[in-house]
Amino acid sequence: MSHTIVTYTIKPGREEENAALVRAVFDELAEKQPTGLRYAVFYLPDSRHFIHLYTDEGSPTGVQTLGSFKAFVAGAQDRHVQPASVAQPELIGDYRAFGGSGL
């Protein structure tokens, strides 16, 4: 199992456009219901900061193959203040957030 955190700040006035593209990914996930992954996106309005949390539990496809995700990343550089930051952290503890049974 691997975890990925992606963070970025959106240019002023592009917040709702970005949020709509993110919602489209979740709509497609709900429709296709792929297995082996967990995905959540948070938005901090005061800073225009988006945080994506992705856990791959052995997904055969991942979110990267979704048409909506491809549309989301296609114009990302134009919407971002600077390039997205990507990290693959080590999970120390988890209580029902990422598929763990608890501490």
In degrees rounded to 5, what are phi and psi of residue 28? -70, -40
Tell me the residue range of the domain where 24 lies.
2-87
Q: What CATH number is attached to the domain comprising 27? A: 3.30.70.100
Please tell me the predicted confidence (pLDDT) of residue 95: 82
Please tell me the predicted confidence (pLDDT) of residue 103: 43
Let me know if residue 92 belongs to a domain: no
Contact in structure between 43 and 90 (CB atoms under 8 Å) = no
In degrees rounded to 5, what are phi and psi of residue 25? -65, -45
Please tell me the predicted confidence (pLDDT) of residue 102: 44
User: Would you write out the chain's pLDDT as a tens digit for each of its 103 residues?
Assistant: 899 999 999 999 999 999 999 999 999 999 999 999 999 999 999 999 999 999 999 998 899 999 999 999 999 999 999 999 999 999 888 887 765 544 4
